[in-house]
């Protein structure tokens, strides 16, 4: 009898525990679904206002920021031109509403000439965020050619002696012969895609050679990264290690750290080469354990700014990092990368960073930094902070 009673109590205990676990899990899922829905609803409403403004113009304009009460529009050749069309694609995907599609198509196709642009390395950003998302969501055959042409244009900047894609043209005033910036890791996704679309492995080869040399030359022993490495075009040796947008040559510019992490996660996705995953995780350790990495997960503009905590955050460095972490969470459980990404996204979605509806020039996030040393775009909205925030929301939704 006693045994039966014990068994009965044990069964009730197990059933209650399972039930409360289920209820807890259901509550978490519901909270997360509400969080996503609220953010997507807000983003759609805010970008509808932005789109109204943009569409009001007599010609096609491309919004980058809102500074001192004025909209900043940019031409197709500016490095951020792919982000506004890319955000429209993410809104089309996240809302499931058809009205976004013609707008995404219109602003994507306004970048038509960029597939032939060879003036700098940014063709990857410009074409892949716009046409790349367009291809993924519509399968439009014509977009394949654009991506292949853009990869050909980017390939013209490949310098075999150094095994890298040259980012910017030579700059005699800085004594730069062949400057390569860590941001360039973000252009490799276009190259991988172009090989898949065309069967031409030269794009893939350039991408992995660039990634390998960036591991070798751009990263410090603590796995932070320099911003600019200037190579010799004749023998590939390193001429300078500098910064352009960071606090100093030896500091860790926050967005650069995020670009590097994101880029190596893409390289791992496309090659399954363990060394790229290792590189991303080591670079993430630098961030995770850095004494200046703030509790809310949104970095200061440079990890080594002497003014921390009385200096600017860079929401863009946070949204890029969050999006990368969501992808990484599917490849590795060395850390709870998803929880880390969730923390950043929750911060960005809070009142400290997310703008009120109709405010902030109708961009989503406040408080990004373009280039503090140049006093340019400091503590303002930036179209790429929004783009990676939307991408992070999409990746979070996919994971859940």
Where along the sequence are the contacts to ligand GLY (CB under 6 A)?
Answer: 79, 183, 245, 255
- Taking phi first (over 0 means left), then psi (-120 to 50 degrees means alpha), and beta for anything else, what does residue 374 get? alpha
Question: If 0-12 CB within 10 Å is exposed, 13-18 middle and 19+ buried, where does residue 168 land?
Answer: buried
CA distances (Å), 255 to each of 145, 250, 315, 372, in order? Answer: 31, 15, 9, 12
How are the residues of the chain apportioned to helix, strand and coil, as percentages rounded to the nearest 5? 55, 10, 30
Report the run of H or E that residue 12 belongs to, with start and end. Answer: helix 2-55
In a 3-state reduction of DSSP, which class is residue 208? helix
Cβ-based neighbour number of residue 292 at 10 Å? 16
User: Is 145 considered catalytic here?
Assistant: no
DSSP state of 191: H
User: Is 122 considered catalytic here?
Assistant: yes
Sequence length of the chain is 400
Q: Do the Cβ atoms of 286 and 258 come closer than 8 Å?
A: no
d(Cα 394, Cα 387) in Å, to the nearest integer?
11
Choose between 46 and 243: whose C-beta lies nearer to ligand GLY: 243
CA 260 to chain centre: 10
Q: Do the Cβ atoms of 194 and 203 come closer than 8 Å?
A: yes
Choose between 39 and 245: whose C-beta lies nearer to ligand GLY: 245
Q: Which of 52, 68, 122, 200 is catalytic?
A: 122
Comparing every residue's Cβ against ligand GLY, the nearest one is 183
Q: Which of 183, 302, 362, 386 is catalytic?
A: 183
Report the run of H or E that residue 229 belongs to, with start and end. Answer: strand 228-231
d(Cα 119, Cα 79) in Å, to the nearest integer?
11
Catalytic residues: 122, 183
């Amino acid at each position: 009898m006693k045994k039966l009673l014990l068994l009965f109590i044990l069964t009730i205990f197990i059933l209650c525990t399972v039930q409360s676990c289920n209820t807890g899990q259901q509550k978490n899922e519901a909270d997360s679904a509400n969080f996503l829905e609220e953010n997507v609803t807000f983003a759609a409403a805010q970008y509808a206002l932005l789109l109204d403004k943009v569409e009001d113009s007599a010609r096609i304009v491309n919004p980058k920021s809102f500074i001192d009460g004025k909209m900043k529009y940019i031409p197709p050749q500016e490095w951020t031109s792919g982000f506004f069309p890319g955000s429209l694609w993410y809104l089309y995907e996240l809302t499931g509403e058809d009205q976004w599609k013609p707008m995404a198509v219109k602003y994507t196709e306004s970048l038509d000439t960029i597939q032939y642009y060879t003036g700098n390395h940014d063709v990857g950003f410009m074409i892949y965020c716009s046409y790349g998302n367009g291809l993924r969501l519509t399968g439009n055959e014509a977009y394949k050619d654009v991506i292949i042409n853009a990869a050909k244009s980017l390939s013209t900047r490949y310098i075999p002696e150094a095994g890298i894609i040259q980012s910017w043209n030579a700059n005699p005033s800085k004594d730069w012969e062949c400057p390569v910036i860590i941001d360039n890791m973000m252009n490799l996704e276009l190259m991988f895609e172009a090989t898949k679309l065309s069967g031409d492995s030269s794009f893939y080869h350039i991408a992995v050679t660039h990634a390998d040399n960036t591991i070798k030359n751009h990263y410090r022993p603590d796995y932070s990264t320099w911003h600019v490495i200037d190579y010799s075009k004749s023998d590939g040796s390193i001429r300078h290690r500098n910064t352009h947008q960071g606090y100093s040559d030896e500091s860790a510019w926050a967005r650069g750290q995020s670009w590097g992490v994101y880029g190596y996660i893409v390289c791992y996705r496309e090659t399954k080469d363990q060394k790229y995953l290792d590189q991303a995780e080591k670079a993430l350790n630098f961030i995770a354990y850095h004494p200046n990495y703030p509790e809310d997960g949104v970095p200061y503009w440079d990890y080594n700014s002497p003014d921390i905590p009385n200096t600017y955050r860079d929401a863009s460095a946070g949204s890029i990092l969050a999006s990368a972490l969501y992808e990484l969470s599917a490849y590795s459980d060395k850390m709870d990368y998803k929880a880390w990404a969730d923390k950043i996204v929750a911060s960005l979605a809070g009142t400290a960073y997310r703008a009120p509806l109709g405010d902030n020039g109708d961009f989503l996030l406040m408080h990004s930094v373009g280039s503090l040393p140049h006093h340019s775009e400091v503590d303002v909205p930036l179209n790429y902070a929004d783009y990676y925030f939307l991408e992070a929301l999409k990746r979070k939704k996919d994971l859940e």
